[in-house]
Amino acid sequence: MNHLKSAALIMCAVVFAASLLFIPQQNAYAQGSAALSIVPKKTYTIEAGKTVNDTLLIRNQDKERTLNLSLRVIDFSYTDDSGAPKLMLDEGAPKTSWSLRDNIDIPETVSIEPGSSESIGMSVTIPENQGGCSLYSAIVYSSTSSEGGNVGLSASGVTLVFANIPGVCKEDLVLKRVGALNDSKNIDNGEYAYFHLDQPKRIAYTLQNNGNVAASPVGSITLRPWFGKEIVINNINPNGSLALIGQERTFVSCVKLKGETVGFNGTRAESTTCDTSGLWPGFYSVELAGYYGQNGNNTKDLVGSSWFIYMPWWAIAILVAALAFITYYVRKIVLHIRSNSSKAKLKKRK
C-alpha cells in the first residue's frame, strides 16, 4: 500500500511542486489540485531553542464531496538547475543534513466539508544547539477515501517549509556563468549562447551553493550595446527564488516583461511573461552586479560578465550586401587609381 501511495503522490505532488520555488512568498495560495487549495510555501526565522506556532489554511474547492486528507512531513532536494524540488517520498528515506522532518508538528489527518476551509495548527521547533543555517522539509497532502483506500489523485499537494536559524553560518554562492539564453529552446531547457539569430528575451545566471544556507540572490544585470542605450534589469530574482544547499541553480530574468491575465478554476489572476526584448542587432556585454547574505552575516558580492551577439538573418543579409557594395566600390577606386598611375607613367616615358 505504501508503494501505491508513493507512486500516486509522485504523479501529482511533484508536478505541483515543480513551480513552488518560483512562487513569491506574498502570494497567499496556490492550487494543489482541482479540489485542494493550500499554502505553497512557509518561511520562518527561528532562533535556536525556540518554537514558532502557525496555522495552515486548507480549502476544499469541491462543492459536493468532503475532502479527507492525510498529512506527513518529508525531506526534499533538487532535481536539476531549475526550481523543481525532488520529493523524497519513500517511507524509509534517510534524513538530509538540512532536514526539518523531526521539527515540524502537524496533525496526521484532517477532514474539510464541501466548499469550506479549515485552519490547522502547526509548529516548528529548533533545537538549542543548532548553529546558524537553513533547514527545510515539505508537508505532503494526499486525499484518502473513507474506507482507507488508495490515494485520490484529485487532491494532492505540497507545502515547502523553510526555517532560517540566525547565527554564524557558511554562505558560499559561486557564480558559474552569466549570459543570454537561446530562445529557440524550451524555457525549461534553455541553453546559454553567444550568437543569436532570434532576439534574446531572457538573461540568466547560474550559481553553485556550497554553503549551508538556502540563499536568495538580489541585484541587477546591465546589457550594454556597442551603440545605443544600455538596458538594466533591476530585479534579477523577483520571486525570491532559492539556491538550495548543494544545488547548482540557474536564475532567469526577462529583458522586458509583459503583464497578462490568466484564468484557473474560474478565477482570474495577473501574470507576467517575457515580452519581445526590442534589442537591435549587434554586440552586447552582460554585467551582473548582485549580492546575497542573511542571518546577520556579512553581505557577499556576486559579480560577473559575459557577452553575446544578436544578428538575425535580415541583418546578416544587409551586412553582406553592404560589404559587397563597399568591396565593389573600393575595388573600382583602386583600379581607377592604378589606371591613372599607369597613364602618368606612360606620359613620363614619352
Q: Are residues 258 and 217 in the same domain?
A: yes
Q: Are residues 59 and 7 in the same domain?
A: yes
Separation between Cα atoms, residue 309 and residue 143, nearest integer Å? 52
pLDDT in tens, 48-93: 999 999 999 999 988 888 989 999 999 999 988 887 889 999 988 9
Q: Are residues 131 and 194 in the same domain?
A: no
Q: What are phi and psi of 188, to 5 degrees?
A: -80, -15
Separation between Cα atoms, residue 55 and residue 172, nearest integer Å? 33
Amino acid making up residue 39: V
Chain centroid, CA 121 distance in Å:
30
pLDDT in tens, 139-192: 999 886 544 443 343 457 899 999 999 988 889 999 999 999 987 654 445 689
Last residue of a domain, one of 137, 165, 193: 165
pLDDT in tens, 258-296: 876 555 455 555 667 888 888 999 999 999 999 998 756
Q: How sure is the predictor about 119, in pLDDT bands with cuts at 50, 70 and 90?
A: very high
What's the domain range around 260?
A: 173-310
Amino acid making up residue 136: Y
Amino acid making up residue 274: C
Provide the pLDDT for residue 208: 96
Provide the pLDDT for residue 132: 86
Positive or negative CA dihedral for 76, 80, 84, 86? negative
Residue 192 DSSP class: B
Q: Quick check: is 341 in a domain?
A: no
Question: How do beta strands 282-292 and 300-310 pair?
Answer: antiparallel
pLDDT in tens, 226-263: 888 899 999 899 888 999 999 999 999 999 988 765 55
pLDDT score of 308 more than 90? yes
Residues near 247 by beta carbon (within 8 Å), at least 6 away in sequence? 77, 78, 81, 208, 209
Q: Quick check: is 342 in a domain?
A: no
Q: Are residues 12 and 161 in the same domain?
A: yes
Query: Would the pTM of this model clear 0.85, i.e. be above it?
Result: no
Q: Quick check: is 346 in a domain?
A: no
Q: Are residues 218 and 155 in the same domain?
A: no
Separation between Cα atoms, residue 101 and residue 78, nearest integer Å? 17
Separation between Cα atoms, residue 304 and residue 137, nearest integer Å? 32
Distances (CA, A) of 9 to 31, 77, 118: 15, 16, 22
Q: What is the CATH number of the domain that holds 53?
A: 2.60.40.10
Distances (CA, A) of 244 to 55, 187, 248, 306: 25, 21, 8, 25
Q: Quick check: is 336 in a domain?
A: no
Provide the pLDDT for residue 247: 94
Last residue of a domain, one of 124, 140, 165: 165
Amino acid making up residue 161: V
Separation between Cα atoms, residue 174 and residue 205, nearest integer Å? 11
**Average pLDDT over all residues of the chain:** 82
Last residue of a domain, one of 165, 185, 208: 165
Question: How do beta strands 195-196 and 76-78 pair?
Answer: unpaired
Q: Are residues 6 and 140 in the same domain?
A: yes
Q: How sure is the predictor about 349, in pLDDT bands with cuts at 50, 70 and 90?
A: low
What residues does 87 pair with on adjacent strands?
Answer: 76
For the chain, the domain total comes to 2
The total of other beta-carbon atoms located within 10 Å of residue 292's CB is: 23
Residue 201: all three cell numbers together? 528575451
Question: How do beta strands 36-38 and 51-60 pair?
Answer: antiparallel
What is the average per-residue pLDDT within 301-330? Answer: 93
Provide the pLDDT for residue 147: 46
